[in-house]
Structures are given as structure tokens and as C-alpha cells.
Amino acid sequence: MTASPLPMAASAQGSYVYDETGKDYLDASSGVLNVNLGHGNPQVLAAIRDQLAKVTFTHRTQFANRPLARLTEELLAVAPAGTGHVEYANSGSEANECALRIALAYHHRTGSPGRTVVLSEQPSYHGMTAGALALTGQPPKLDPSFAPLLPSALAADGSRVRPVPGALRAGTEQWRHALDTVGRARVAAVIVEPVGGSSSGAAPMAEDTLRWLRAEADHHGFLLIADEVMSGFGRTGRWWACDHAGVAPDLLTSGKGLTGGYTSLAVTLVQERVAAAFERPLGSVVLGHTMSGNPLAAAASLAVLRQLRGQDLPARAAVLGAELLERLSKLGAPYPLVTGVRGRGLMLGLGLSGDPARPLELSRTLIAAARRHGLILCPGGIDATTESVMVAPPLTTSDHELTELLRRLECALGELPAPVR
């Protein structure tokens, strides 16, 4: 193995990570938008220790487990209205695979086996497993050698919905055109990121478009899947990014903020109406993985969820996010290569206008400069239009840490090259 150019992480506490030399890094990206409570949360660590001493693994076919039962109960209290079933997986990719299995099986059982096309957007990111990758609108992730892995039956001509040139997200007209092209009777599901993740650098889809898709799905019988792996669990200032549009999707997948980075767990939340189409318990139809919903992961996630609810951190993300958006906009204004700030709550993206001949190089330069100044940022975007860095600190960030984040970011912005003319 070659030596990594990255600092070697030694420890972490709250919003800071420390490397082996003792240098501190303010984590302005919450890991990859998953460490929503910060590091070393004492209540979560205590819950993990407590569960470690009791039982770490039992299989769902052999035992029920108390932390998972409680987690399901408490999840249902914050899940979108009408949620009737929670299916567990270990990663966001797996949760999306599960949503696809449920959508296809649902149509089989309800007399529409011909509904096999799933529409998705470009840019988008849905994960690295085969089905999720097949729906991912992100050319750099789709190495041509992967083609035999990707189920082409899921997609069809026109099933990848693209924004108009220069726009960050597809609007209603582009979705309408895709549905017209494919034919609504062939569509099993539409999958969207209500606020885009790494592929668009936190670009929200228009709320009208999301509401329009909900109405089309209701009218024409396909399912609406919201991929909230990144945007869920309060990150955008509401429990679910779909809440901003007042939409409840048929299937909602989430992960990162569920565990806060303390363990691996992800969920597919299923509307009661969809779950009711299955004669056997849904879990026994769509199946899972060895570690799905294991007691240790459930105990950690339950403790995370209780912190999110107890401290009302979604509301905190709304307030802090509004302040960060305003201060970031002011901070970026003097820099010609900064195009503006987008996003919702604490899921923000700083748009960059790099050299079109070298897309994403500018974001790499800024991220490296930020790291030298002790600030961690995530890359966003897949091309010159979407190029950005994501600014998404933990929901527990203090006012003082927010000011320090902006100070370090200003130092990094000061190192940006002159614009290419």
C-alpha cells in the first residue's frame, strides 16, 4: 500500500477531529454528512457500551431484539405520515436496493408486472451496489467496465432525467417529458433526492416538481421513492427533506444521520398502503442481510435518535442553517470563482466556477487548502455546472464553532487561484 497523503486520524471529539501530530480539524462536513451529533457523544457511547455487554448479534429469523423494537417504535413517531413498515439494511445503497425490490414486488402483486422502469435524475447518487448504481446519474462513478453488473431492465431510453443546460436540477417539464417518453404504464417508480447530495452539491429540487411527481404517481399508479440517505434525520431543518414540500413518498430511504456515524444501519420506510399489498410480512419477501438490524447497531441508532428528538436538532439545523447560508453568501461574495450558496438547513453547497477544461479541479484545490487550515469539506458536483464544496457541519455545532468554521474557510478561499479568462 502506498502512503496516504491524508492526515492520520487519532481521535475526535464534538466537531473536531485530531490527527497523530495533534493538529485539529473542524469537521465542516460531518464526516460525509453522517456525523450529525458530532464525535464522542457520551450518551451514544454509553448506549453502545451497555449493549456490548448484553448481546451484539442475534438474527431476525431467530430472535426479536429489544433495541430494534424500540427503535422501530420511535422511528415511526418521526416517519412521514402513513408509514406502516420499517425495513433495515446496513448502508444507504442497500436501503435503495431494498426500495427497488419492494417497488418491483409491489407491482407484481398488484397485477402490473410490466412496470419495470425506474426513472432517476442526472446528477444523482443512489449508491454503489448494482441496482443503486444503475440508477445513479453520475458518469464518473459509472466505469464502462461495470456494464455487465447493471440491470438494464430497470432503465429505458429517456429514463435518466436531465436538467436544462446550466441548471442544477431537472424541473417539472423534464420529468413530464421523461414520463411521456417511457410511458407511464411501464414505470415502476421514480427515485429522487429532494435535496441533492454529493452529485449536485446540495441543490434542492423545486418543491412544485416534487409535489407534481407525487400527484402523477398517485394518478398513474407508480411509486415515488425519496432517497434521503443524506438529507434525512433533520439535516435539512425538517425531519425529512420531503417535508419542505409537504410530500410523503411511498418509500423513503435513509441512513447516515440515523446512526450519526457510530455504526452501520439504514432504513427503508414503507407506506402502509404499499406494505398492505404483501400477503406475507414484507421483510420475508424482500429479505435483508446478515447484520440488518442487529442489536448493537439498533442500540447505537436508538441513542442517536433520542438525542435528535430530545434536543430538537432538526429545528436547530433550520436556525443554524439559515445563519450559515447568510454568512457564507457574504463570505463568498468577493471571490469571483464562488458562484453562490445553495441548499437547505445544514445541507449547504458553495458553488464554484472552475476551469471548464478541468472540471472539479477547483473544488479539490479548495478542499486541500481548507485541510491545511484545519477545516474538513466534502466535494460536490459531477461537472462544471455542479462543481461545489459541501458545507454541512454537525447539527450540534456551537455559535463559536460556526464563526471558527467561517474564519478557516476564509483562509482557504484566500488561496484560490485567479479566475481563468
Ligand X SMILES: Cc1ncc(COP(=O)(O)O)c(C=O)c1O
Q: Which residue, among 180, 181, 203, has the nearest Cα to 193 in the 3D structure?
A: 203
Stretch that binds ligand X, among 79-87, 191-199, 382-390, 413-421 (CB under 6 A): 191-199
Least Å from the CB of residue 391 to ligand X: 16
Q: Is 295 left (phi over 0), alpha (psi -120 to 50) or beta?
A: alpha
SS3 (DSSP) at 348: strand
The answer to whether 301 contacts ligand X (rule: CB under 6 A) is no
- The per-residue b/e assignment along 116-131, b for 16 or more CB within 10 angstroms, e otherwise, is bbbbbbbbbbbbebbb
- State the cell numbers at 85: 413498515
Residue 188 or 202 with smaller CB distance to ligand X? 202
The answer to whether 193 contacts ligand X (rule: CB under 6 A) is yes
Pairing verdict, β 117-121 and 378-380:
unpaired
CB-CB contact of 68 with 58 (8 Å): no
Among 41, 91, 116, 365, binds ligand X (CB under 6 A): 91
Residue 156 or 252 with smaller CB distance to ligand X? 252
Residue 90 or 353 with smaller CB distance to ligand X? 90
Least Å from the CB of residue 199 to ligand X: 8
Residue 194 or 332 with smaller CB distance to ligand X? 194
Residue 227 or 401 with smaller CB distance to ligand X? 227
Q: How far apart are CA 234 and CA 347, in angstroms?
A: 10
Among 30, 51, 93, 307, binds ligand X (CB under 6 A): 93
CB-CB contact of 349 with 389 (8 Å): yes
Residue 193 or 401 with smaller CB distance to ligand X? 193
Quote the distance between the C-alpha of residue 214 and its chain's center: 20
Environment class of 67 (CB within 10 Å of its CB; exposed 0-12, middle 13-18, buried 19+): buried
Among 31, 38, 92, 321, binds ligand X (CB under 6 A): 92
Cα dihedral 237→223→86→193 (10° resolution): -30
Least Å from the CB of residue 385 to ligand X: 19
Least Å from the CB of residue 22 to ligand X: 30
The answer to whether 169 contacts ligand X (rule: CB under 6 A) is no
Quote the distance between the C-alpha of residue 86 and its chain's center: 18
Least Å from the CB of residue 296 to ligand X: 17
Among 190, 230, 267, 362, binds ligand X (CB under 6 A): 230
- State the cell numbers at 110: 398488484
Stretch that binds ligand X, among 110-118, 227-235, 273-281, 349-357 (CB under 6 A): 227-235
Among 97, 121, 227, 387, binds ligand X (CB under 6 A): 227
* Backbone φ, ψ for residue 229 (5° rounding): -55, -40
Among 137, 194, 197, 314, binds ligand X (CB under 6 A): 197
Contact mark string toward ligand X, 22..51, x via CB under 6 A: ----------x-------------------
Q: What is the CA radius of gyration of the chain?
A: 21
The answer to whether 229 contacts ligand X (rule: CB under 6 A) is yes
CA terminus-to-terminus distance, the chain: 40
> Measured at CB, which residue is nearest to ligand X?
92
Non-local CB neighbours of 195 within 8 Å, separated by 6+ positions: 202, 203, 204, 205, 230, 231, 236, 241, 343, 344, 347
Amino acid residing at 217: A
Number of residues that bind ligand X (CB under 6 A): 15
Least Å from the CB of residue 91 to ligand X: 3
* Backbone φ, ψ for residue 168 (5° rounding): -90, -35
Stretch that binds ligand X, among 92-100, 141-149, 208-216, 357-365 (CB under 6 A): 92-100
Give the orientation angle of helix 66-78 with respect to helix 295-310, to 10 degrees: 40
Least Å from the CB of residue 399 to ligand X: 28
Residue 15 or 124 with smaller CB distance to ligand X? 124
Residue 97 or 216 with smaller CB distance to ligand X? 97
Residue 51 or 90 with smaller CB distance to ligand X? 90
> Where are the strands (E) in 78-167, listed by range?
83-89, 117-121, 160-161
Q: How far apart are CA 241 and CA 235, in angstroms?
A: 8
Chain residues 124-143 in contact with ligand X, contact rule CB under 6 A: 125-127
The answer to whether 349 contacts ligand X (rule: CB under 6 A) is no
Chain residues 251-290 in contact with ligand X, contact rule CB under 6 A: 255
Binding site for ligand X (CB under 6 A): 32, 91-93, 96, 125-127, 193, 197-198, 227, 229-230, 255
